[in-house]
Amino acid sequence: MSRKKATHQIRPLPKRPLFRPADNKTERLLALLRDVALSSQRPESQPFYPLREVAQKYGIPLSLGWKIYQQLEEEGILRPIRGSETLLAGWNSRRVTDVHGVVAIACSLSRFLNHQDYRTFVTLLCLEMRTRNFAATRTFFEMGESAGDIAGHLKESHPDAVIWYCPEKVSREVAARLHDMGIAIIAIRGSGLPNIGCDYIVRRQLALSEIVRAWKKQAITTVKVVVGPWRSSADEEKIGRTLEDLEIVAEFVTPGTRPLKEFTKRLTAAPLCGIIVSQAAAVHWSMNAPEALGQLAQGAPLALLDGPISAPFGKFDDTIIDLVTVDWAAAAKSIGHDLWTRHVRSPDEPLIFEAAALLRVPLSLYSQKL
């Protein structure tokens, strides 16, 4: 009697990535499978793809597949059952007997829903905390909520510390309220100019410089920087200085109320011009006119400054871009290690998470399918 094939409640495996000679195949596949697993987790454990099936799908040796699965097991994502199957660990499957502390992760609901990199980092932070036996919760708040309301949400889980990536404008008042309750804030600067000192900083200028230098070899002399409705003068200043140092003329533009197709056509009209798109503007494109974003990439060199974007209503199969990306798993591990060892960092000497540049890559390999 043939063995009944298990029905997966797991996200389908993506296509095999296009590997370049310089690519780290292990890291690429590890990130791909981690993303599939984390986006498929449910409260209870469930069967995950067998190792042999994954190795066959991506044309890799079993030894390489085993190395990737072993890493996911160490991260607490997969759980092997000897002689049987591999399980995707559920949210409720790990019973922690020795809680090291309680951590609340402050999470902007709008950023979490719309920004892929933000969502990825928050998810990996939560996983890293739980792996290190911290009781971790994601505490969501809406844009525009008062400091008192946000502080109230955060204190509900009685945390020892709050981790806040991209603190909002009200962060100074929230930090003061939490300080009075004996709750520390660990802040990570990703964009803008936060009102509180940050223990960690995500820096993208070097990666952007690498991309623009590659453009200069293609005779690009000007760059248009597309920003969204929530413009940060601090971010614009950093981008402007980076481009000025490279002797590139920069112009900051925004779609405003114009139709995106018309705006896209105007952007690509200028010759020898590269285009840098901020996260807010890229999300606007992906939600409202994903086909226009693909046309933009065909008409001019295109760089996504704040990581990849998701594709809720369209595909980016033929969209080739330059990408500024951050190793969010490594960043989460660094923060988790500091918390575990009680290493206190100072805003005067923050730890820098340096972004990397990926040149001429298919956006479909990095965008999540929502």
CATH class, range 203-326+357-365: alpha beta
Residue 20 φ/ψ, nearest 5 degrees: -100, 160
* Cβ-based neighbours of 18, under 8 Å, separated by 6 or more: 362, 365
Q: What is the pLDDT of residue 2?
A: 43
pLDDT tens for 174-196 read 999 998 888 989 999 988 777 88
List where CATH 1.10.10.10 sits in the chain.
25-88
pLDDT tens for 215-230 read 999 999 899 999 876 6
Residue environment code for 110-145, b if the CB has 16+ CB neighbours within 10 A, otherwise e = ebeebbbbbbbbbbbbbbbbbbbebbbbbbebeeeb
Element (H, E) at 338: helix 328-340
Q: What is the pLDDT of residue 322?
A: 95
CATH class, range 101-198: alpha beta
Tell me the CA distances in angstroms from 366 to 32, 359, 363, 369, one per residue in order: 9, 13, 6, 10
Find the largest Cα–Cα distance for the chain. Answer: 71
Is the pLDDT at 32 greater than 50? The verdict is: yes
pLDDT, average across residues 241-257: 89
Q: Is the pTM of this model over 0.75?
A: no
Using an 8 Å Cβ cutoff, are 256 and 284 in contact? no
CATH 1.10.10.10 fits 25-88, yes or no: yes
Q: Which of 189, 188, 190, 186 is nearest to 175 (CA)?
A: 186
Mean pLDDT computed over every residue of the chain: 84
List where CATH 3.40.50.2300 sits in the chain.
101-198, 203-326+357-365
Euclidean distance between CA atoms 206 and 191, whole angstroms? 15
Q: What is the pLDDT of residue 247?
A: 92
